[in-house]
Structure 1
Amino acid sequence: MSLRPDLAVIAANVAKGSRVLDIGCGDGALMAALRDEKQVDARGLELDAGDVASAVGRGLSVVQGDADVDLAGYPDQSFDYAILSQTLQTTRAPDVVLEHLLRIGRRAFVSFPNFAHWRVRASLLWGGRMPVTRLLPVAWYATPNIHHVTVDDFRALVKERGITVEGAWFLSGDKRTSDLMANLLAEHAVFLLRR
């Protein structure tokens, strides 16, 4: 099974045999890959009941929950990695969720769509409307995205909070793009963080 490009980056960089909490795990595709390929002890938290059922059907340990309210109950440093893939922009308080990730996990992976990508900018400039793209496939009124984060916004947040960036991957489709021009050229970003 082929993973979404940001999930493939995360999977390639999670240490074998580690403990992982995947927040917003969807149907459990990443968790299943980590379990099967790297013998990872993976747990998941997912808001959508249908995705929880799919993940549990794969034999995964996933509970239904909301990142905005349920992360507070997890003990400090209880996982090697806390993962938040394509979910940060859907949370009500992304900065608080990020703090919980770094409290719960020794390291945290965060991936998100880059709302400063050139296609998004062009759509706004030439069409005057919120874009519908491959990575942002629904109209503005139906999107779960409530915070439109850019690569540079996220870099500023982690710097302001004194968070260390151990790794960063910027993707256009399934290919890496320049770190220097990431805010313009990357469709999505993946960061590996620690305190």
Structure 2
Amino acid sequence: MSMLRPDLAVIADHVAPGSRVLDIGCGDGALMAALRDAHGCDARGLEIDPGNVAAAVARGLSVIQGDADVDLAGYPDQSFDYAILSQTLQTARAPDVVLDHLLRIGRRAFVSFPNFAQWRVRVSLLWGGRMPVTRQLPEQWYDTPNIHHVTIDDFRAFLRDRRITVEGAWFLSGDRQRSSAAANLLAQHAIFLLRR
């Protein structure tokens, strides 16, 4: 599991063995392969990029090409133990609708996203007056897939307003976990385990 991106490693460590998993925005299938191989999970994927779909299928994974904004409505209620949306929430046109589908499709949902309130982002805007380009956010403002700049505190408020239960939350700077107390300022990424 250590070869996984840090947020994916956290998710993989908290998925119960033998679970049915839908990974939405699964990329090349790295998480799905780890869940299949190490946990015996029945992992399925939905991915918008045809190159990533081909890479995942080449790993022997069950992945279809699709768009989270439009293709989740066809999945039956409670058809998976976990629905996973990693580093994709901020790219969705309607993230609230995508989250509703996640929590309908899966008994639980993992959501991870970059924290746009992290101190390096704030400093870049304050002192440079420009959108940051970092290892975690490598694209220029005009070329980024990120269309919703969510913060940890924004997401917590969203969950509270919608009465969504948080079963777990992890906050990362690189591959190091941070406490939840100052996560909005210090963490680069957040991972939440949710249920209705």
Classify the TM-score, shorter chain.
over 0.9
Structure 1 gap segments, 5+ residues each: none
> Displacement of 1:65 after TM fit?
0.1
Counterpart position of 2:171: 170
| SS of the residue 1:145 aligns to | coil
Aligned residue type for 2:193: L
CA–CA separation in structure 2 for the residues paired with 1:142 and 1:100: 27
Q: Which residue of 2 aligns with 1:122?
A: 123
Aligned to 2:92: 91
Corresponding residue of 1:140: 141
Question: Aligned-pair distance for 1:192?
Answer: 0.1
The corresponding residue for 2:11 is: 10
- Helix, strand or coil: the match of 1:80? strand
Instruction: Name the structure 2 match of 1:81.
Output: 82
SS at match of 1:129: coil
The DSSP-based 3-state class of the residue aligned with 2:107 is strand
Q: 1:31: which partner in 2?
A: 32
Aligned to 1:185: 186
Task: Flag as ranges the 4+ runs of structure 1 deviating above 4 A.
Answer: none
- For 2:139 and 2:179, the matched residues in 1 are separated by 27
Matched, 1:47 2:48: yes
User: Structure 2: which 5+ runs fail to align?
Assistant: none
Equivalenced residue count is: 195
The residue aligned with 1:110 is 111
Give me the whole-angstrom Cα distance separating, in 2, the residues matched to 1:100 and 1:156.
19
Q: CA deviation at 1:13?
A: 0.1
Secondary structure in 2 aligned to 1:15? coil
2:159 — aligned with what? Answer: 158
Counterpart residue identity of residue 139, structure 2: V
Amino acid at match of 1:124: L
Question: How far 1:178 moved relative to its partner?
Answer: 1.6
Counterparts of 1:89 and 1:62 in 2: how far apart (Å)? 21
Matched letter for residue 46 of structure 2? L
Give me the whole-angstrom Cα distance separating, in 1, the residues matched to 2:33 and 2:118: 30
Distance in 1, Cα, partners of 2:193 & 2:176: 18
* Residues in 2 aligned to 1:123 and 1:183: alpha-carbon distance in whole angstroms: 16
